[in-house]
Amino acid sequence: MRTHDTYSNPTDTDVVIVGNGPIGATLSVLLAQRGWRVTVLERRPRPYKLPRATSFDGETARLLAGTGIGPELDRVTEPANGYQWQTAAGAVLLDIGFTTAGPYGWPDANTMHQPALEELIAARAAALPGITVLRGHEVVGISDGEERVEVTAATDDESTRVLTARWVVGCDGANSFVRDHLDVSVTDLGFSYEWLLCDVELRQPREFTPSNVQICDPARPTTVVASGPGRRRWEFMRLPGESAAELNREETAWRLLAPFGVTPDTATLLRSTTYIFQARWADQWRVGHVLLAGDAAHLMPPFAGQGMCSGIRDVVNLAWKLDLTLRGLAAESLLDSYTEERRAQAKEAILASVQLGRVICVTDPADAAERDATVLANRRGRPAGRPEPAKPLSDGLLHRRSAAEAAERAAGAVVPQGRVGRQGRSGLFDEVVGRGFMLLTSDDPYTVLDEERLSFLAGLGARVVRLLPPGQAPEEADGVPDVICVEDVDDVYRPYLTRFGATSLLVRPDYHVFGAASGPGGTEALVDDLRDQLRAAVPAGAPHRAG
C-alpha cells in the first residue's frame, strides 16, 4: 500500500472521486489496485436501484474485467445475438450480427442489469484497502492549490466535511457540480428528443432474435433492447404535438407495450418515465488538479450504446496516467493527453450517435418512405454486418517516428485479445500474463533490448512478452525470469505483428498500441520514445517512488 509520507505536503487522500456510479466506482478500483488511497464522495445515501445503461461492448467488457470482476460478469450479463433496424412493415434496414467470441476476448455485445453490475464493482471496491466511500456527502466546494485540492462536502446531518487530495475527478453525471464549478464551456449539438422508457421484467422466459431492434416507424419510432437476464427495455419516442404528461403515464406505457405481448399478466413494469437525451461534450476535461469523466464530460444519444462504454474508457485512460503522475514517473502535463485522447474519441461517438438518431427519429411518413427505399436498395443482398472495431486514438501519447507506413498505422489501435499458453496453463492473455504496459515481441528480447531499457520498462511495471507460434511450448527455465514466454494459442498476436510489418509492439495499460517496430534498432527506438515522452514531462527533483 502506498502512503503519502514522501510528499512535502501530506493530504487526507490521494484522489477524491465525486460520484459513485459505475464510472466513479470503476476508477476507485483501478486506482486502489495500484495502491493509492481513494475517497469517493456520493450525494445519494443509498445505491440507485434502477437501470440506466443496458449494455456494453466487448472492449468495455475487457476493461471492466481489469477491475477483477471478470469471472463474475456472466452472472449479471447475457450476450446479445444481434441488432437490427426495421421498417414499420418489418423489412430490415440494418443488420449487425454479434458473436460471443469477439476480438477482445469477450462477447461483442453484453446486455446487463446495471444495478447488478454496480453491485459487483462495489463488492470489489469493498475488498480493496485504500477505498473509502462516503455516502450522503454532496460536494459543495472545491479549492485547487499548487500541491493539493480542498473539497468541501455537505453531509446528511447538515454538517460539512473538508478533505484534501492530490487530485479530484468529477464522475458526478450529467448535472455535474464539478463541471459547473470549473466553469468550462460545453459544445452542445442541440440534438435532443424526448422518449418514454419502460423497463420490464418478464414473468416467463422468451427468446428475442435479434436481441436488440430499432423500429423505424414514423408513427412511433421505438427501441427494443435486452437489459440483462430476464429483463427488457422498450423506448417510445414522443411524437410532435403529443403531450409529455400524457406520455408519461403508466396506462400509456401498458398501451404501447401491449402489441409486443407485454401486459400486466406477462411482465412486471419496473419503471416507466420520460427522458430527454442530449448530445454535448465539455471543451476542457482538466482544470488544474481537477478532472472530468463520464457523463460529467460528455452526453450522447443512446442509439450506438456507447454512453457508459465511453465513461469506462475515460477512467481506464485516466487511472494509469494518474498512477504515473503520483509515482513521479511523469509530470502533470501527461494528464493533458487524457483530454486530447478521450475528448476526440467521445466526440466521434457522439457524432455517430447523432447521425444514427437523425435516421431513426423520422416521423414524417413521406420522409420515412424515402429513407426506407434508399436504404433497402443499397443493402439488397448483403449479409449481416459485424460491429466496427474499437476506435483507435489519433493523437496523444503515441509513437509517431516509424519509417514504415504500416507500423505508423499501428499506433493508437486497440490490440486484440486471444488465448495464450504458459507454464501448462491456457487462457485469455490478460488473465495468463496480466495487465499494464506490455512489450510484445516475436524476437528474443535480449537480442533487441539492453539491460538499461529493460530496467526502464520494469520501472513502469511493464511486462516483456515473447510470443511463440502455436504448438511451440514456452520454456522459461532459462534464467531469464523478467521475460515472459507464451504460446500464441489462437494465432492472434504474431499475425497482428505481421499485419503492421513489425516484430515488436509496445502496448499501453488501456490496450491502445503505443507503437510498433521491426528489428533491434526499431524496438530500441520504440522504447526510447516512450521514455523520452514521459521524461519530457518530469520536472527536476520530482519524487520518484517505487511501484
| pLDDT at residue 417 greater than cutoff 70 | yes
Which pLDDT band, with edges at 50, 70 and 90, does 232 fall under?
Answer: very high
The CATH number of the domain holding residue 290 is 3.50.50.60
The number of folded domains in the chain is: 3
Residue 403: the pLDDT is 58
> Is residue 147 situated within a structural domain?
yes
What b/e readout covers 458-491, taking b as 16+ CB neighbours within 10 angstroms?
eebbbbbbbbbeeeeebeeeeeeeebbbbbbbbe
Same-domain pairing of 423 and 371: no
Residue 545: the pLDDT is 33
Same-domain pairing of 319 and 179: yes
3-class DSSP state of 123: helix
| pLDDT at residue 481 greater than cutoff 60 | no
> Is residue 356 situated within a structural domain?
no
> Is residue 351 situated within a structural domain?
no
Which pLDDT band, with edges at 50, 70 and 90, does 474 fall under?
Answer: confident
Residue 547: the pLDDT is 28
Mean pLDDT of all residues in 227-247: 95
Residue 401: the pLDDT is 67
3-class DSSP state of 7: coil
Residue 544: the pLDDT is 36
| pLDDT at residue 446 greater than cutoff 50 | yes
Q: Which residue has the higher pLDDT, 49 or 292?
A: 292
| pLDDT at residue 315 greater than cutoff 90 | yes
> Is residue 355 situated within a structural domain?
no
CA pair distance 362, 358, nearest whole angstrom: 7
Strand ordering across the sheet containing 15-18: 131-135, 38-42, 15-18, 167-170, 290-292, 286-287
Residue 404: the pLDDT is 60
> Is residue 161 situated within a structural domain?
yes
Same-domain pairing of 339 and 366: no
Same-domain pairing of 142 and 36: yes
| pLDDT at residue 33 greater than cutoff 50 | yes
Residues 329/459, Cβ–Cβ less than 8 Å: yes
* Alpha-carbon distance values, 105 to 30, 100, 244, 386, 478 (Å): 20, 9, 43, 16, 30
| pLDDT at residue 479 greater than cutoff 50 | no
Question: What's the domain range around 313?
Answer: 15-51+113-187+284-344
Give me the half-sphere count of Cα atoms (radius 13 Å) on the Cβ side of residue 298.
Answer: 30
Residue 477: the pLDDT is 43
> Is residue 352 situated within a structural domain?
no
> Considering only CA atoms, which of 85, 84, 87, 86 is closest in space to residue 365?
87
Which pLDDT band, with edges at 50, 70 and 90, does 542 fall under?
Answer: very low
The CATH number of the domain holding residue 435 is 3.40.30.10
Which pLDDT band, with edges at 50, 70 and 90, does 402 fall under?
Answer: low
Q: What are the phi and psi torsion angles at 544 (to 5°)?
A: -105, 135
Give the dihedral of Cα atoms 271, 277, 281, 286; nearest 10 deg. -20
Q: Which residue has the higher pLDDT, 409 or 263?
A: 263
pLDDT in tens, 434-443: 999 999 999 9
Residue 1: the pLDDT is 47
Q: Considering the chain, what percentage of its residues have pLDDT values greater than 70?
A: 94
| pLDDT at residue 260 greater than cutoff 90 | yes
Same-domain pairing of 198 and 247: yes
Same-domain pairing of 255 and 120: no
| pLDDT at residue 445 greater than cutoff 80 | yes
| pLDDT at residue 480 greater than cutoff 60 | no
Residue 285: the pLDDT is 98
Same-domain pairing of 267 and 318: no
Contacts for 538 with CB less than 8 Å, ≥ 6 apart: 328, 329, 330, 331
CA pair distance 242, 493, nearest whole angstrom: 55
Same-domain pairing of 438 and 293: no
Amino acid type, 279: A
> Is residue 475 situated within a structural domain?
yes
Mean pLDDT taken over the chain: 92
Same-domain pairing of 177 and 200: no
Residue 50: the pLDDT is 85
Which pLDDT band, with edges at 50, 70 and 90, does 383 fall under?
Answer: confident
CA pair distance 44, 460, nearest whole angstrom: 37
Tell me whether strands 15-18 and 38-42 are parallel, antiparallel or unpaired. Answer: parallel
Same-domain pairing of 421 and 439: yes
| pLDDT at residue 24 greater than cutoff 90 | yes
> Is residue 541 situated within a structural domain?
no
Same-domain pairing of 104 and 133: no
Same-domain pairing of 103 and 82: yes
The CATH number of the domain holding residue 250 is 3.30.9.10
Angle at Cα 314 formed by Cα 313 and Cα 316, nearest 5°?
Answer: 65
Residue 2: the pLDDT is 53
Residue 476: the pLDDT is 58
pTM of the model: 0.94
pLDDT in tens, 46-61: 998 888 999 999 999 9
Residues 173/294, Cβ–Cβ less than 8 Å: yes
Mean pLDDT of all residues in 402-425: 85
Ramachandran quadrant class, 436 (left: phi over 0; alpha: psi -120 to 50; beta: rest): left
Mean pLDDT of all residues in 481-506: 93
Residues in the chain: 547
